């Protein structure tokens, strides 16, 4: 199983690289894609619709301002979707945070802190570790080391 890391713009890369680094630390495979809920909605829908069949266990979505990426992905998959609101815009991330958490009933998006890409990766790993004892052991070691 692997995790998809999606971001709305190439400019989001520096804020989202912490997710990839954390997944690497746990030995979790991942792919990084840039796709926009607004500029490339068909690509987002196609990716999300096929994510389970492509072997993904979770999708981490980082976006700023309107931050609709995680919600659009969640609308097209039954995989866990974790939203990372990114700073910038009018309210330096508060706008993205509110967009990410305000989802309709039945289409959840787990949401971490503004710029919390590392925690998104930990959460994705925890979800996968429910059925993977080796991954659960790596998580326990990480937590025992002070979770840094």
Span 81-130, pLDDT tens digits: 999 999 998 889 999 999 999 999 999 999 999 999 999 999 999 999 99
Tally of residues, the chain: 148
Domain that holds residue 61: 2-144
Half-sphere exposure of 78 (CA within 13 A, CB side): 1
Half-sphere exposure of 84 (CA within 13 A, CB side): 28
If one counts the domains in the chain, the total is 1
Residue 100 confidence (pLDDT)? 95
Strand partners, 84: 62
Task: For 25-47, write each residue's pLDDT tens digit.
Answer: 999 999 999 999 999 999 999 99
With beta carbons less than 8 A apart as the criterion, state whether 11 and 63 touch. no
Q: Which of 3-7, 64-68, 108-112 has the lowest mean pLDDT?
A: 64-68
What CATH number is given to the structural domain containing 93? Answer: 3.40.50.1970
CA dist., res. 49 & res. 28, Å (int) = 22
Of 132, 135, 1, 116, whose CA–CA distance to 60 is shortest? 116
Tokens of 60: 């981490």
Strand partners, 62: 7, 84
């Amino acid at each position: 199983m692997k995790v998809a890391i999606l971001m709305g713009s190439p400019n989001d890369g520096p804020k989202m690289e912490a997710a990839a680094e954390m997944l690497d630390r746990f030995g979790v495979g991942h792919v990084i894609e840039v796709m926009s809920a607004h500029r490339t909605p068909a690509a987002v829908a196609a990716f999300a619709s096929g994510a389970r069949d492509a072997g993904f266990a979770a999708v981490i979505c980082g976006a700023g301002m309107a931050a609709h990426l995680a919600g659009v992905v969640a609308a097209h998959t039954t995989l866990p979707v974790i939203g990372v609101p990114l700073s910038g815009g009018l309210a330096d991330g508060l706008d993205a945070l509110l967009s990410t958490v305000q989802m309709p009933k039945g289409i959840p998006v787990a949401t971490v802190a503004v710029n919390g890409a590392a925690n998104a990766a930990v959460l994705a790993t925890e979800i996968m570790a429910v059925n993977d004892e080796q991954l659960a052991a790596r998580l326990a070691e990480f937590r025992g080391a002070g979770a840094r």
